[in-house]
């Protein structure tokens, strides 16, 4: 476990995700999970921003934009998905978010019929 990025904060976030699923269960749209997660993050006193605008620039020119589901304590990107599988495009998306914002850790949480599954994405650069 040595070298685990933001270990304590990661576990707190994962606890919030499991608590949210345990209360809501499966079958809701992503936006409903996001609202419930916001409530639980607040109750856990975890600082967060929701739907964070993130411009993409190249040579000081804006070439696009992202919106992050959550930015936790200005350190961790949290993306919420619904369904059973982690798709390569979702992993690449979070990695691009990390690079664009010069952050180290992203978490993808998938709400599935059997529970929450978590994938951590680390930006080592």
pTM of the model: 0.92
| Domain membership flag for residue 2 | no
State pLDDT tens for residues 15-29.
Answer: 999 999 999 999 999
Q: Residue 113 class from Cβ within 10 Å (0-12 exposed, 13-18 middle, 19+ buried)?
A: exposed
pLDDT tens for 99-118 read 999 999 999 999 999 999 99
Please report, for the domain that includes residue 28, its CATH number.
3.40.1350
Does some domain include residue 19? yes
Domain count, the chain: 1
Give the range of the structural domain holding residue 60, as residue numbers without chain letter.
7-122
């Amino acid at each position: 476990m040595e070298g685990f990025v933001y270990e304590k904060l990661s576990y707190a976030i994962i606890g919030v995700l499991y608590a949210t699923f345990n209360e809501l269960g499966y079958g809701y749209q992503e936006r409903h999970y996001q609202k419930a997660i916001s409530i639980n993050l607040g109750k856990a006193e975890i600082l967060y921003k929701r739907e964070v605008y993130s411009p993409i620039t190249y040579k000081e020119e804006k070439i696009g934009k992202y919106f992050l589901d959550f930015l936790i304590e200005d350190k961790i990107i949290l993306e919420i998905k619904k369904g059973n599988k982690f798709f390569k495009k979702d992993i690449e998306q979070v990695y691009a978010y990390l690079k664009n914002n010069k952050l180290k850790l992203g978490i993808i949480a998938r709400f599935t019929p059997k529970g929450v599954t978590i994938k951590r994405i680390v930006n080592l650069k």
